[in-house]
Amino acid sequence: MSIELAYGEVSAIDYLSCRIRVRLDDRDGIQTFWLNIPQRNTQGTKRRPLMPELGEQVAVLLDADGVGGVYLGGIYSTAEPPPVVDEGTDFVRFSDGTVSSYDRKAGVMRLECVGALVVKCGRDFTVEADESLVIKAPSATLEILQVTLRGSLQVNGDITATGSVMDAGGNSNHHSH
**Torsion region of 42: left, alpha or beta (phi above 0 gives left; psi -120 to 50 gives alpha):** alpha
| pLDDT of the residue at 49 | 83
Q: Distance (Å, rounded) from C-alpha 30 to C-alpha 14?
A: 18
- Residues of the chain whose pLDDT is less than 70? 1, 170-177
- Domains of the chain, each with CATH number or no CATH: 4-74 (2.40.50.230), 82-131 (no CATH)
Give 124's contacts (C-beta < 8 A, 6+ positions apart): none
| pLDDT of the residue at 173 | 61
Q: Distance (Å, rounded) from C-alpha 55 to C-alpha 12?
A: 9
| pLDDT of the residue at 150 | 92
| pLDDT of the residue at 26 | 87
